[in-house]
Chains A and B, each alone.
Chain A
């Protein structure tokens, strides 16, 4: 049973960087059959997939077009976790952020982190 535990700041100032981490138990971030995703949810945008990282003999990343210029997702194998960094945030980035595992769909989810962008 995979469990995902999120951590990170719930309040970010405009123009700064949003950073969240997702700790994995029950699987490895380096698994060659898994993918590790970030998804957000807001009243205005609904559920929105942001991006993923996965290992297939090398590390790969895919990002949503809507955030591609501002997002980085990376993995830390020593801590078995992966992280989201979204820079130059605006109030439009206010949302609940989830980490989730899955390749074609999302079978395990973190508990969600409400991130508010406000000065």
Chain B
């Protein structure tokens, strides 16, 4: 079965850039989606189809996907961005696959 992996944690200073990676075999051939989850809340999609932002998501969130790695970038990170982030891939054969999650800490 298809798997995607993420680093367990990323630390970033306020105002700096956080990069969260999601790795999987030929991941660049599939769309990747990113979710933000704060404690006690349901996940919220912040990036879909690799690079698109839903309405209401700040433009400091951006995404890319190439080769075996997709990346979620948070530019000018704010304290409110502290959360767990999950990537998700989909294809018709493997259905929905979630990454293991990355805890972003804003120090």
CB within 8 Å of B: which residues of A?
37, 46-49, 62, 64-65, 98, 104-107, 109-112
Contacts and interface: CB of A to CB of B under 8 A. Distances in A.
Interface string B42-59: 111100100000100000
Contacts, number: 44
A106 B42 CA distance: 11
20 contacts: A46-B98, A47-B43, A47-B88, A47-B98, A47-B101, A49-B95, A49-B98, A98-B42, A98-B43, A104-B31, A104-B33, A105-B33, A106-B35, A106-B43, A106-B88, A107-B45, A107-B48, A109-B43, A109-B44, A112-B42
A110 B88 contact: no
Interface residues of B, number: 20
Given A47-B98, A105-B90, 9 more contacts: A46-B100, A49-B96, A49-B97, A49-B98, A62-B95, A65-B1, A106-B43, A109-B42, A109-B44
A105 B45 contact: yes
A106 B47 CA distance: 11
A46 B95 CA distance: 16
